[in-house]
Amino acid sequence: MSDLSPSGPPTPSELVSPSRRSLLRGVGGAVLLAGAGVPLLSACGDSSSGSDPKTVSLGSNASDAVPKKAFAEIYAAFKKQSGITVDVNTKDHNTFQEQINSYLQGTPDDVFTWFAGYRMQFFAAKKLASPIDDVWAKIGGDFPDAMKQLSKGEDGKYYFVPLYTYPWAVFYRKSVFKQHGYEVPTTWDKFVALCKQMKKDGLVPIAFGDKDAWPAMGTFDQINFRLNGYDFHKSLMAGKASWTDAKVKAVFDHWSEILPYHQDGFMGRTWQDAAQGLVAKKSGMYVIGSFAAQQFTNKADLDDLDFFAFPEINSAYGQETVEAPTDGFMVSKSPKNHAGAVKLMEYLGTPEAEQIYLKADSSVVAASSKADTSSYTPLQKKAYTMISGAKNLTQFMDRDSRPDFTSSVMQPSLQKFLQNPKGIDSLLSSIERQKKTIFASS
């Protein structure tokens, strides 16, 4: 802003005799200066962290309190080890995601937080990220094959360093189940029966909040791969299988069956508020990712929290698939401090970095197979077992598919279904028509 100040106060001579001409000249000068100010101002943004070899800039979507603090501790440890300062720009989680396109094309930070899977491959294919095979040459031994697969672009090069992962499952309170004598349901019929029983007992059977439009995708995914299997999920997300397929219709039929047991008023409720129902023991179950544990700020409540895998629907697929979104880091297309960025990525790939994160945020588990699991909470141990025992790992509907499709078609469509489950046939053909348009373009 200081660039503009010269145009502000007029010179003394102008003040003494403000003749028309000098006034005009002054105005003209001000316009010129303002015009000149524009490029100067736009240059402001990227001047600070320029070529300093001791600083790496990092764009972060970790805006929630718990992860933000956990990340800060990692960067502090990195500084201690390497002497390189991490200059963090944190943006609101959802905003970061929505602006990612323009962010990566503009002057992005050297390193940025992102998601594994299709969402990462999309930007890698668009050449908005730098390949980091050199980083993986050092850290490769620490990761299981599933993670390596998730970190590669379509061209086979590595673009991503995973930090942690977390499962989606059905969360519940041990004390509530004990009090009412409930048993963990392993099949769909038992699950529906349990919902009925909970309703009778005055509980909200399934906590639910879909104001942000993505939580519903989680429920869809669970029913879909339990009913139709991993391969169908993949093919549906990739735009190959048809949404008008009877298999998809069956997913929505199953969902309709449990919809009456979902928490009322979900369209105006955030996932955090829905989690509060579980904290207050008013809700019996909650289909959500294990980050729900972040809402349990009281230690006793957190210890009481447990989860089970979404029940089996089709015995051909059992409970073999786990939805385990993986978060981590990428390097932007032309980082200003490439050497520093590589060093940071190598550090982020170490078990130490993961352990620092997990200490602060016990709702997730380490992506690395070398991380020390002895300090895990029972919840983390269970999540780790669940993920490492899975036959297939999925990411999430909006991470396994095109973001334009999921955000502009699936989010409103699922909300529409939830409001009016009877109109599913016309809704599915509408989804299919829109899908064809979107997947046909580029």
Chain residues that interact with other proteins, rule: CB under 8 A? 20-21, 24-25, 27-28, 31-32, 35, 97-102, 105, 126, 128, 204, 210-213, 263-269, 273, 276, 403-405, 407-408, 412-413, 415-416, 419, 427, 430, 433-434, 437-438, 441-442
In the complex, least distance from residue 276 CB atom to other proteins, rounded to whole angstroms: 8
In the complex, least distance from residue 441 CB atom to other proteins, rounded to whole angstroms: 4
Whole-angstrom distance, CA of residue 238 vs CA of residue 261: 31
When the beta carbons of 54 and 196 are compared against other proteins, the nearer one is 196
When the beta carbons of 205 and 218 are compared against other proteins, the nearer one is 205
In the complex, least distance from residue 378 CB atom to other proteins, rounded to whole angstroms: 30
Element (H, E) at 307: strand 305-308
Whole-angstrom distance, CA of residue 136 vs CA of residue 120: 16
User: DSSP letter at 199?
Assistant: H
Taking the mean position of all CA atoms in its chain, how far away is CA 373? 24
DSSP for 326-347 reads EEEEEEBSS-TTHHHHHHHHHH
Torsional class of 281: left (φ above 0), alpha (ψ -120 to 50), beta (otherwise): left
When the beta carbons of 256 and 407 are compared against other proteins, the nearer one is 407
Q: Are 257 and 192 in contact (CB under 8 A)?
A: yes
In the complex, least distance from residue 271 CB atom to other proteins, rounded to whole angstroms: 13
When the beta carbons of 377 and 407 are compared against other proteins, the nearer one is 407
In the complex, least distance from residue 334 CB atom to other proteins, rounded to whole angstroms: 14
Q: Are 249 and 442 in contact (CB under 8 A)?
A: no
Burial class (CB in 10 A: 0-12, 13-18, 19+), 253: middle
Bridge pairing between strands 55-60 and 111-115: parallel
Whole-angstrom distance, CA of residue 365 vs CA of residue 83: 28
User: Pick from 112, 91, 164: which is nearest to 363 by CA?
Assistant: 164
In the complex, least distance from residue 71 CB atom to other proteins, rounded to whole angstroms: 22
When the beta carbons of 210 and 354 are compared against other proteins, the nearer one is 210
- Residue spans of alpha helices (H) in 2-114: 12-16, 20-47, 65-82, 93-98, 100-105
Burial class (CB in 10 A: 0-12, 13-18, 19+), 218: buried
What backbone torsions phi and psi does residue 82 show, to the nearest 5 degrees?
A: -115, -15
In the complex, least distance from residue 419 CB atom to other proteins, rounded to whole angstroms: 6
When the beta carbons of 97 and 337 are compared against other proteins, the nearer one is 97
When the beta carbons of 180 and 370 are compared against other proteins, the nearer one is 180
When the beta carbons of 25 and 359 are compared against other proteins, the nearer one is 25
> Please, which residues bridge with residue 286 across strands?
171, 207
In the complex, least distance from residue 169 CB atom to other proteins, rounded to whole angstroms: 24
Bridge pairing between strands 85-90 and 55-60: parallel
User: DSSP letter at 262?
Assistant: B
In the complex, least distance from residue 365 CB atom to other proteins, rounded to whole angstroms: 26
